[in-house]
Structure 1
Amino acid sequence: MTNIVITGASAGVGRAVARRFAAKGNRITLIARNKARLETAAQEIREKGGEALVQPLDVADADAVEAAAVAAESAFGPIDVWINVAMVTVLSPVSQMTPEEYRRVTEVTYLGTVNGTLSALKRFRQQGWGTIVQTGSALAYRAVPLQSAYCAAKAAIVGFTDSLRTELIHENSDVKITVCHLPAVNTPQFDWARSKLPNRPRPVAPVFEPELIADGIHHAAYHPKREYWLGFSAVKAILSEKLAPELGDLYLARTAVSGQQTGEAADPDRADNLYDSVDGDWAARGRFSDEASDSSPAMALSEHGGSRLVAGGGAALVAGLMLGAIFAVSRQRA
């Protein structure tokens, strides 16, 4: 039996994670803004034999997060695993962003993770155990155009988590912390994230189903290590930034603006979830299941001790791509 808290649990990756942990004896506290979707997620957990507690709140509110932690302990006892998934984003060129939008993405995606971590850490240090799982992104290392606020927030999560990890090591603590860096995932965020793009937003290919990512997060919760890179596209993105950031800049400048938009014109009147939850029966998946993959050999290998092999293969591939890019640039200049 495991007592789990999941933020962002009403839809997308968080909803898939809630479903993945749903099992007889597991007790799951579900945190998100939309109460109706949380109630539906709770019912899914109960149907699989688990227990569920619904806590509708905004993770940007530290007091509300702490109150949810108190409620989770009161209902289910000591918390074993805390998983931070909640996020918001704005797809927009930097020149069209506002300070308020940057602040809001930071408050939810970064500070929401901090708030959850602090509430978990307060309890885990007292009880002497517990695992914190951060939902990171390959974009924390390899930023892309049109997502500056989100990339910055995910990068901040890495810095915060790395600092905390060293403190826990210094204390010889049995509290564990791990980060799962995600590739592009088929979630509803592309239907409700605030967007200032002329066409409908989409994830950068290749795209993975949220259930696959939930499998990776589930594995990380029970086998925590420093980081998991979920999917070979995440491996390539992270290693390309470490090996050839300038070439990555050039490549993304040429491909990632169009690559984050479909050919359909955007609806200027659609609601977004930056400040308020969007109503509707959204669940884990978005509208890209026709191209999304539900398997990843790289992720499976990483989970079973092959991280160095994955990284080595990724490095070799990135090196090959670098040589190809250098050759192409040299030909253009000639």
Structure 2
Amino acid sequence: MTTFALVGAGPGLGLATARRFGAAGHTVALIARDAGKLDGLTADLARDGIQARGYPADVLDIESLTAALYAAAADLGPVEILQYSPVPQAHFMKPVLDTGADDLDAPLAFSVKGPAAAVNVVLPGMRELGRGTLLFVNGSSAVRPNPKVAGTSIAFAAESAYARMLHDTLGPENIHAAQLIIPGAIRPDGGPSSPDVLAERLYDMHTTRDGFCHYAEPLPD
């Protein structure tokens, strides 16, 4: 049995994707800062017959993030699918002219150092399996810079570049890296940006392995 590891577990998209990959037979490792929230999510999944465990960690604390992923693989089985989708923090959202050099430290750690650390933990296990999937979830500022949210625009663009290099480099090893862009808010209305629909989309990206960048909905004009 292999593991679906979710960095940025929460009650919306995170729970929906955990449920979808768990229903497909994967054990589920949930990683987020709030241990109490993780307990609630694992209980929800257990009611659906899905084996899941929570691992408290902060993506801005590389040591805690890597320790969580190592523990998950040891407890649940090798990580075949990694989803990196934590929600950016509010203070990343300053306008560009209010953003100084120091203001970029946390967004870049969140969106570049965190993914790089996570990938480097799970990659050896994927290579042993002979397969793997790396899923990155971002907002529209990853592909269309928004001067109102400079921190995420810069950091998401860097994350996109990193993920694209992984896609190009690891494809020959049967390790697929892909990005899902969600242009607006996640909405619990059954539409294309609702949690269940997005979870199905991410599962399809894992199974079909078709291309790098995918859009939940077209970017607005």
What's the Cα RMSD here?
Answer: 2.4
Aligned-partner Cα distance in 1 for 2:34–2:107:
18
CA contact (8 A) 1:24 1:48 kept: no
Q: In the alignment, is residue 185 of structure 1 matched against residue 185 of structure 2?
A: yes
Letter in 1 for 2:103: E
Unaligned runs of 5+ in 2: none
Counterpart in the other structure of 1:71? 71
1:13 and 1:85 in contact (8 A); partners too: no
Length-normalised TM-score, structure 1: 0.59
Larger of the two Rg values belongs to structure: 1
What is the CA deviation profile of residues 241-261 of structure 1, one whole-angstrom value per residue up to 9, with x for unaligned ones? xxxxxxxxxxxxxxxxxxxxx
User: Hey, what does 1:112 align to over in structure 2?
Assistant: 114
Equivalent position to 1:221, from 206, 209, 216:
206
Name the SS of the counterpart of 2:146 in structure 1: coil
Matched, 1:45 2:45: yes
Paired with 1:150 and 1:224, the residues of 2 have a C-alpha distance of: 27
**Percent identity for Structure 1 against Structure 2:** 23
Q: Aligned letter for 2:167? A: R
Alignment of 1:1-334 (within 5 A): 2-23=2-23, 25-89=25-89, 90-169=92-171, 172-186=172-186, 208-234=193-219
Distance in 2 of aligned mates of 1:144 and 1:33: 28
Shift of 1:163: 1.8
Do 2:2 and 2:78's aligned partners in 1 also have CA atoms closer than 8 Å? Answer: no
Report the CA distance shift for 1:16/1:174 in structure 2 as closer, same or farther (over 3 A). same
Which secondary structure does the structure 1 equivalent of 2:6 belong to? strand
The more displaced of 86-95 and 49-58 is 86-95
Secondary structure of the structure 2 residue equivalent to 1:185: coil
Change (3 A) 1:143 1:130: same
Normalising to structure 2: TM-score of the pair? 0.85
Against the structure 1 CA distance between its residues 77 and 146, is the aligned structure 2 distance closer, same or farther, given a 3 Å change threshold?
same
Structure 1, unmatched stretches of 5+, are 188-205, 238-334
Q: Conserved in 2, the CA contact under 8 Å of 1:216 and 1:230?
A: no
2:154 alignment partner AA: A
How far did 1:101 drift?
3.3
Give aligned pairs, total: 216
Equivalent-residue separation in structure 1 for 2:158 and 2:11 (angstroms): 23
Q: Distance in 2 between matches of 1:106 and 1:13?
A: 23
| One-letter amino acid of the structure 2 residue matched with residue 4 of structure 1 | F
1:135·1:182 contact (CA, 8 Å) conserved in 2?
Answer: yes
Q: Distance in 2 between matches of 1:119 and 1:26?
A: 18
Q: Is the CA contact 2:164–2:177 (under 8 Å) kept in the aligned structure 1?
A: no
Change in Cα spacing, 1:227 to 1:220, as seen in structure 2 (3 Å) is: same
Q: Report the CA distance between 1:107 and its aligned residue.
A: 1.0
Mark the CA change 1:11 to 1:91 in structure 2 (over 3 Å): closer, same or farther. Answer: farther
What secondary structure, in the 3-state scheme, does the structure 1 residue paired with 2:23 have? coil
Question: For residue 141 of structure 1, what is the amino acid of its counterpart?
Answer: V
**Maintained 8 Å contact 2:80/2:125:** no
> Counterpart of 2:40 in structure 1: which amino acid?
T
1:173–1:40 CA distance, 2 compared to 1 (3 A): same
Consecutive aligned runs of 4 or more in structure 1 exceeding 3 Å deviation: 97-101
Task: Please tell me the residue identity of whatever aligns with 1:97.
Answer: T
| Alpha-carbon distance in structure 2 between the residues aligned to 1:116 and 1:144 | 27
Deviations 1:30-59 (A, max 9, x none): 001011111111111111001111100012
The 1:25/1:212 distance shift into structure 2, 3 A limit, reads closer
Cα separation, 2, equivalents of 1:10 and 1:85: 10
8 A Cα contact 2:4 2:26, kept in partner: yes
Say whether the 8 Å CA contact 1:24–1:49 is kept in structure 2: no
